[in-house]
Structure 1
Amino acid sequence: MAVTGETPPLQAGKRERTGWYFYDWAMSAFNTSVVTVFLGPFLTTVTEIASGCAIDADDCEGVVHPFGITVAAGSYFAYLVSLSVFLTVFALPVMGAIADRAPRKKPLLAGAAFLGAAATIGFVFVTGDRYLLGGLLFIIANIAFGAALVVYNSFLPQLGGPDERDKISSRGWAIGYLGGGLLLLLNLLAVMSLSEEGNPQRTLDIARWSIVSAGVWWAIFTLIPLLWLREHPPLEAAASKGNVLTDGFKQLGHTIKQMRAYPLTLAFLGAYLIYNDGIQTVIALASQFGTEELKLEQDTLILTILIVQFLAFGGALLLGALANRIGARKTVLLSLALWLGVVTAAYWLPEGEPLPFMLLGAGIGLVMGGSQALSRSLFSQLIPAGKEGEYYGFYEISDKGTSWLGPLFFGLIFQMTNSYRTGIISLVVFFLLGGVLLAIVPLRRAIIAAGNTPPKLI
């Protein structure tokens, strides 16, 4: 980003960029093995046990009463996702403000990442009917996941110029898919070799340990970016003159007021929050949909997610290359049209047949990474210099597992209709509305208004 009157930032080298990519490798294990595959079915089963339903019941319609609130067992996980993200609305922008003003960002990244990893490892204690413990650990892990992403994404503008960020962002997502996919492959091997037919408790235990493995993976590989990323001192105007925490809260209030001076940036952010909420809801609830509605076995679900992961690696790079030819916005709009087809096709998937579900997963894999990676790099162009952390704090309200409107909407639809299919098809509104809003935002004018130099293609 061009910053008038400031010392140009140090150019990032290959080692630093690789370190940045490796955090995506580290945390994607949580997004893939936990949020996308194991946690929904696992916590739903634990909740059904708490409601008095047998572990092998085929048609369990029990309810639980956390803190006196009546909740259908099938809606519990979706509501948890919404609650955790509602809480991030307050936590993540503050984390971003602190990151912009702190002299060192890496301790913030370490603290959030290791807290999330520890909460994930804590699922080793979620046994029997401890659905409340599982819910609390997930909320902590998901908020920490988002907080770490705020800091992680705030490094992006320091890693390359306007014409490089689409490629850098796409590579990060692609490497993340490889990391998440590799751990998921290991978990699939565990499911296939250790499961016993007619022993649902064994399946539940394998799922629990698979969740724990993601926390261990997340913690270990976070060490690489902590070693290889360099600290970039904040701009003098943003640097904290006193206590970083209290100054972060004060600065957040100023930023919220100042954001009104960048209405086009806010317009893009609004469009993104809507369409990405639909994407994240599909990702987070796909496993639950496959288990509860389509009656598919867990190994089928994991194999499908593996297909998604490894195709997403190529898809992220492919759409990144396409963006270099037609622009990032047109590429994202194309991916949203494909997402509409995915959601519509999901409604008509036949029960008990793995192949159509896998084919749909292949389609998701080809468009998933590119739509999100390019949105991230587009947003980096719209942020005033020195405000990266704060703006990404708002951005992360709907990124990589932290959606809230979609899961809440899905949960309410299921509670009213008792149909996962109706919940899935209702998500088309997010892709339609978000796509229309993205199409009408004048991005080049928005980038200039934020004080940045536009790339050649947008």
Structure 2
Amino acid sequence: MTTFMTNLRARYAQRREHWAWYLYDFGNSAYAAVVLLAVYSAYFQNQVVGGANGTRLWGNSVGIAMLVVAILAPILGSLADFSGRKKRFLLYLTTITILFTAAMYFVQEGDILLGMVVFILAEIGYRGGQVFYNSLLPEIAAPEEISTVSGKGWAIGSLGGIVCLIIVLALILTIGGTEIVRLSFIITAIFFALSALPLFFIVDEKTKAQEMPPGENTFSITFKRLGETIRSVRQYGEFLKFMLAFLIYNDGILMALNFAAILGAVLFGMEQQQLIIFMIIVQAASVAGAYIFGIVGQRRGFRTALTQSLLLMIIAVIAIFFNTTITGFFMIGALAGFALTGVQSVSRALIGTFAPAGKSAEFYGFFAVAGRTSSFIGPTIFGNLVAILSARLIASGMNEALAEQSSHRWAVLSIAAFLVAGMALLMLVDEKEGRRQGQAATQPGAAVEAQA
């Protein structure tokens, strides 16, 4: 009886930790939904800056934040592994995100520098915090539970984004005005803070601090580990081919996400409440996409599922170029939401199939770091391309409003270019051979066989 009660209490404690971890994602996703996707991006482009220059500066802001995180991520990863204080660093970065999200309330028309700075700092906190948040997963879930717990966290996180958007939408519909749009950033900060609190009180950090090797420090061990990981994965040719494809098509996905609200506002004149409804539809469709493409991946192969989801995403992006109605844009958003989450979830699953037994964490770590190294390129290209095209169209005699619309419409094709190039490279990846290389690495003579 005593053993039964002990096991029951342990299981209850573990479930509490799971839910505390889920709730952090619930609030974290509210930040992504309101700031990145539906509200702040369009507010900054249209109200704070205005015109094609607003799109350029938004793209540059996203690019700067991504570049800083790309540089910091390996260092933060080493801190997570060696410090034994993941929650403390997560608290610092979460606090940065919450404070600077709330500070977006003070950004008004013409406050360009302030608008860029508060967003960049909030985004660095958000992206940097994910390193420590993800590193807590193995501490709250057994190896056989990690996939299930991670999937539930993603689903509950998506729900958090939808709930926060509904709250903001209700306020905009009942009160209206720019003031309530700015107030939505304070609401989002509070929403994130309240959702994050259980993790810091309930989750117990089980991994103790590791002793730093003699003569090493955080920076030296970071670069040493990166070198070891790169040398380790060089023998897995199919994995490296997949990573090259991922680096390219993932930029297309990021461009679509970061500029969706701006495209809706500029091309179709959508108001803030319409943009929020649009993003709710995108997020709802994404849940179905992740589920269905997961099934396709299990039954027909992950590369097949990934190719199909990329193809749907390309169709959605090209459809934006030809579409002229708000109704059409809503339909395209549903298709894009269905496809893009399939791309993201299946990409992660494919890494797992290529990783040798006992090296999945190393492969996922390389996947995360490599993904961040290029993530600043696409948004920066899109924003600057819009500005260049708009300037040339105005110089040719086109009026400013029409030039802004035309430049955004043509720039959409740059998103399609990244997706098409990435999919073309993906077609060169042999999933069966990648699995074989991973399985061979656990057998005697694996390195020689994998290189053959």
Place the TM-score, normalised by the shorter chain, in its bin. Answer: 0.7 to 0.9
Aligned to 1:188, the other structure's residue is in SS state: helix
- Structure 2 residue aligned with 1:240, among 198, 205, 211? 211
| Number of the residue aligned with 1:95 | 76
| Number of the residue aligned with 1:207 | 181
Q: Would you say the 8 A contact 1:170–1:370 is kept in 2?
A: no
Distance 1:436 1:216, change over 3 A: same
Corresponding letter in the other structure for 1:38:
V
- Show CA shifts across 1:399-455 (max 9, x none): xxx932211121122122221111111112222232333441643245447769xxx
| Number of the residue aligned with 1:21 | 22
Q: Would you say the 8 A contact 1:170–1:373 is kept in 2?
A: no
1:291 aligns with 2:280: no
How far did 1:380 drift?
5.5
How far did 1:157 drift?
5.1
Aligned to 2:66, the other structure's residue is in SS state: helix
Deviates more, 1:138-147 or 1:311-320: 311-320
| Aligned mates of 1:444, 1:231 — CA distance in 2 | 34
5+ long unaligned stretches in structure 1 = 1-9, 50-59, 62-71, 196-201, 453-458
| Aligned mates of 1:446, 1:17 — CA distance in 2 | 34
5+ long unaligned stretches in structure 2 = 1-9, 391-406, 444-452
* Equivalences, count: 406
TM-score between both structures, scaled by the size of structure 2: 0.80
Distance 1:443 1:101, change over 3 A: farther
- Structure 1 residue aligned with 2:345, among 342, 364, 373? 373
| Number of the residue aligned with 2:421 | 433
- Show CA shifts across 1:105-140 (max 9, x none): 222222212211111111122134211111011111
- Structure 2 residue aligned with 1:111, among 87, 92, 117? 92
Q: How does 1:244-283 map onto structure 2 within 5 Å?
A: 247-258=217-228, 259-263=230-234, 264=236, 265-283=239-257
Distance 1:380 1:147, change over 3 A: farther
| Aligned mates of 2:136, 2:304 — CA distance in 1 | 25
| Number of the residue aligned with 2:377 | 405
- Show CA shifts across 1:360-407 (max 9, x none): 111122223232233234445648366589546515617xxx932211
Distance 1:293 1:262, change over 3 A: same
| Aligned mates of 1:144, 1:446 — CA distance in 2 | 37
Query: Could you tell me the percent identity over the aligned residues?
Result: 27
| Number of the residue aligned with 2:167 | 186
How far did 1:82 drift?
0.9
| Aligned mates of 2:381, 2:151 — CA distance in 1 | 30
How far did 1:165 drift?
5.0
1:336 aligns with 2:310: yes
How far did 1:252 drift?
1.3
| Aligned mates of 1:451, 1:145 — CA distance in 2 | 36
Distance 1:119 1:388, change over 3 A: farther
| Number of the residue aligned with 2:121 | 140
Corresponding letter in the other structure for 1:337:
L
1:34 aligns with 2:8: no
| Aligned mates of 1:445, 1:129 — CA distance in 2 | 57
| Number of the residue aligned with 1:362 | 334
Distance 1:407 1:46, change over 3 A: same
- Structure 1 residue aligned with 2:359, among 370, 384, 387? 384
| Aligned mates of 1:181, 1:36 — CA distance in 2 | 11
| Aligned mates of 1:395, 1:216 — CA distance in 2 | 32
Q: Would you say the 8 A contact 1:154–1:388 is kept in 2?
A: no
Q: Would you say the 8 A contact 2:48–2:107 is kept in 1?
A: no
How far did 1:303 drift?
0.9
Distance 1:302 1:24, change over 3 A: same
How far did 1:257 drift?
1.6
Q: How does 1:22-171 map onto structure 2 within 5 Å?
A: 22-48=23-49, 60=51, 72-156=53-137, 159-161=141-143, 166-171=147-152
| Aligned mates of 2:130, 2:417 — CA distance in 1 | 27
| Aligned mates of 2:305, 2:24 — CA distance in 1 | 25
Distance 1:224 1:324, change over 3 A: farther
| Aligned mates of 1:16, 1:375 — CA distance in 2 | 27
| Aligned mates of 1:294, 1:449 — CA distance in 2 | 53
| Aligned mates of 2:288, 2:81 — CA distance in 1 | 33
Corresponding letter in the other structure for 1:256:
L
- Show CA shifts across 1:241-268 (max 9, x none): 3799x73312111022211221235544
Distance 1:335 1:389, change over 3 A: closer
Structure of higher RCO (CA pairs closer than 8 Å, 6+ residues apart): 1
Deviates more, 1:433-442 or 1:419-428: 433-442
Distance 1:253 1:423, change over 3 A: same
| Aligned mates of 2:301, 2:204 — CA distance in 1 | 30
| Aligned mates of 1:424, 1:84 — CA distance in 2 | 22
